[in-house]
Structure 1
Amino acid sequence: MLEHGGNLREAAHRYGREDWIDLSTGINPHGYPAPMLAPDAWHRLPEANPELVAAACAYYGAPALLPVAGTQAAIQALPRLRAPSRVTVSAPSYAEHAHAWGQHGHLRTLATYADLDAAVDTSDVLVVVNPNNPTGETIAPERLLAWADRLGKRGGWLVVDEAFGDTAPRLSVAAHTERPGLIVLRSVGKFFGLAGLRLGFVGADAVTLQALADVLGPWAVSGPAQSVALAALRDTAWQRETFARLQAAGGRMRSLLATHGIAATGTPLFHWWAQEQPEAFHGFMARHGIWCRLFREAGRGIRLGLPANETEWQRLETALQAWSNR
């Protein structure tokens, strides 16, 4: 399995602390307050809920969506829907994309964001994370749609992972997924802080959505997950308040890092920067009880999520000051 954030058991095993601040993910630390579930939520097999799909289409602005057990389920299933193809994956980005396409006989190539345009005409599938995880790089929707048209005309795909798109809605191309060749992934886990639900959505043309549903099989998303997500997707007041809070917190994080000489990029939910010796920074912060995300290979660097409260902000600032003074 690939390495991911959120692995606090590893932190405790290696460093022996119990007072951890987990900044290793890009998950909203103030998640949506899950409502009480109906008494039969755990008893019944989960039926497809058209109200959930309607709420998701309204929230994401998409013409049609397929609920999936987190975007990870779609990432693993999409390579199974094509014959061996030439696949270009943006890099560095969420590593599960390249990993999944590499397991099913496809010819996989990694390309920097600067090289993606040149890769369109030599690829059958182009996979882009927008905004990118971990660097925060973005691509204008007009450019993505042009790529999708070029690929779609010859039966290709543009797969756009918008897992962190909630804080940058103008970047989304979900509204255009009725056109062949464009596939968009959206996540309920990040912005809504509900990663444990394992719920996401896929936007694509009807033929692709049906093929994906057939591969994933029945009961792909639990009934409780559907109930909680329906409430979250309909709660526009919470969404507006959370959007504003995250924008403010993201600005605070960028300013804090800049104070300590760190020029970070990212989204309101996480910040990333290239670090000459990321292992040293990661270990130093861990000894202060702060667990951040270490990137060892391509794009060597550090990613920090958001603290949950003022005490955590102050502990982070103290640790950063100690790093600056070391």
Structure 2
Amino acid sequence: MRDHGGNIEAAKARFGGATWIDLSTGINREAYPVAVSAESFAALPRKSAHEALIQAARQAYGTQAPLVVLAGAQGAIQMVPGVMAPGLARVVSPTYNEHAACLGAQGWRVEPVATLEALAGADIGVVVNPNNPDGRMWSRDQVLALRGKVGLLVVDESFADPVPQVSVADQAGPGLMVLRSFGKFYGLAGMRLGFALGEETLVARMAELAGPWPVSGPALEVGARALLDRAWAEATTARLGAEALRLDALAAAWGWSLVGGTHLFRTYETGDARAAQEFLARHGIWSRIFPWSKGWLRLGLPGLTEWSHLETL
């Protein structure tokens, strides 16, 4: 099922109420400050701005690999199935459901697997690292050990900004494609900005499919500035790390146990996910549950002014 978080309209329709805190996604609720020039709106996106963003991304991700700018990591996920003739795809699961959905929609035979090692032998193997929603994380060495055992190893690093030590972006190239999201860590998901890094021919094919203006001028401008702002990234990583533990303590007080998580979301075993979601919804807090689990509930981290509401439930 292609179910997603962020469906706050469904929460309002079901439970009523005008004021909600949407914690159903893994998006930083303390966004990078946005200041955009009028020119970025008025003119078609400039090649110079596009190149500046590419260079900023390479610096931020520590890589010189061929890179294509796309409309979010989702844009890359939708393109990956088309870079090769359909065959066998294996996806480490459970995980973000768009990988399997997009592969299946484009003729791939998709097999969910439980371990990284089980990807071996597939034409395309997909791992989300850190994984969503259980927070599983594999080391660089574990991921790179699969290179050559899979036709194309696709590593979705959408939640890797706070844990650069697990990233394999610097190794992207033949047999290894890395996907990165901008909007989650920087709290600007509406900008629809992401990247794919990999073998030059595949990246060029994706760039051709994306067309001459794959993302907006404001996204190019803000993205380049944010990716080079390492002071903000370091401070945000430290804050999110501390607040993840704060949310774990709050969930424990509600009787929930930690399944796992990242700096941007936490997943809990509640015993009854629907009842837990309704408990939060009655207080104007929207969360994420999963059709394949009776107990798991995922919460994004609250914004700075939202903690007091959760802590008085």
TM-score using structure 1 length: 0.91
Residue of structure 1 in register with 2:7 after alignment: 7
1:267 maps to 262
Partner of 1:168: 163
Q: Is 1:86 matched up with 2:88?
A: yes
Aligned pairs for 1:205-284 (under 5 A) are: 205-264=199-258, 265-284=260-279
Q: Relative to 1, partners in 2 of residues 1:63 and 1:250: Cα closer, same or farther, differing over 3 Å? A: same
Report the Cα distance in structure 1 between the residues aligned to 2:311 and 2:253, rounded to whole angstroms. Answer: 10
**Offset at residue 299 of structure 1 (A):** 7.7
Match for residue 138 of structure 1? 137
Task: Provide the rounded CA distance (Å) in 1 between the counterparts of 2:138 and 2:293.
Answer: 20
- Offset of 1:3 from its aligned partner? 2.1
Deviation at 1:224, TM superposition (A): 1.0
Amino acid across the alignment from 2:228: R
Given that 1:161 and 1:185 are in contact with CA atoms closer than 8 Å, whether structure 2 keeps it comes out as: yes
**Aligned-partner SS, 1:42:** helix
Output one character per residue of 1:172-205: Cα deviation in whole Å (capped at 9) or x when no partner. 0001003x11000111111111101100011102
| Aligned partner letter, 1:271 | R
8 Å CA contact 1:279, 1:296 repeated in 2: no
Q: 1:43, CA displacement in angstroms?
A: 2.4
For this pair of structures, how many residues does the alignment match?
A: 309
- Structure 1 residue ranges without an equivalent (≥5): 320-326
Aligned to 1:26: 26
Measured after TM superposition, the shift of residue 297 of structure 1 is 1.6
* Pairing of 1:1-326 with structure 2 (within 5 A): 2-37=2-37, 39-48=38-47, 49-64=50-65, 65-112=67-114, 115-121=115-121, 123-151=122-150, 156-178=151-173, 180-264=174-258, 265-297=260-292, 301-310=296-305, 312-319=306-313
Partner SS, residue 165 of structure 1: coil
Gaps (5+ residues) in structure 2?
Answer: none
The separation in 2 between residues aligned to 1:119 and 1:67, in whole angstroms, is: 27
Distance in 2 (alpha carbons) for counterparts of 1:299 and 1:239: 36
Aligned residues of 1:24 and 1:305 also touching (Cα < 8 A)? yes
Which residue number corresponds to residue 324 of structure 1?
none
Give the CA deviation at 1:277: 2.1
What is the CA distance between 1:126 and its match in structure 2? Answer: 0.6
**C-alpha distance after superposition, 1:96-122 (max 9, x if no partner):** 00100001111111112xx3313312x
CA contact (8 A) 1:165 1:172 kept: yes
Q: Whole-Å Cα distance in 1 between the matches of residues 304 and 116 of structure 2?
A: 39
Q: What is the root-mean-square deviation of aligned Cα atoms in Å?
A: 1.5
Q: Secondary structure at the match of 2:126?
A: strand
**Residue 30 of structure 2: SS of its match in structure 1?**
coil
Identity %: 44
d(CA) in 2 for partners of 1:30, 1:175: 28
- Runs of 4 or more consecutive aligned structure 1 residues displaced over 4 Å after TM superposition: none
TM-score computed with the length of structure 2 as normaliser: 0.94
Structure 2 residue matching 1:281: 3-state secondary structure:
helix
- SS at 1:19 equivalent: coil
**1:81: Cα distance to partner?**
1.3
Sort the Cα spacing of 1:44 and 1:72 in 2 relative to 1 into closer, same or farther, 3 A. same
Counterpart CA distance in 2 for 1:68 and 1:126 is 21
Could you tell me whether the CA contact under 8 Å between 1:278 and 1:296 is conserved in 2? no
Mapped to 2, the partners of 1:118 and 1:111 lie a distance apart of 6
Q: Matches of 2:119 and 2:129 in 1, distance apart?
A: 17
In structure 2, how many angstroms separate the alpha carbons of the residues matched to 1:78 and 1:215? 11
| Gap change, CA 1:6 and 1:286, over 3 Å in 2 | same
1:259 deviates by 3.1
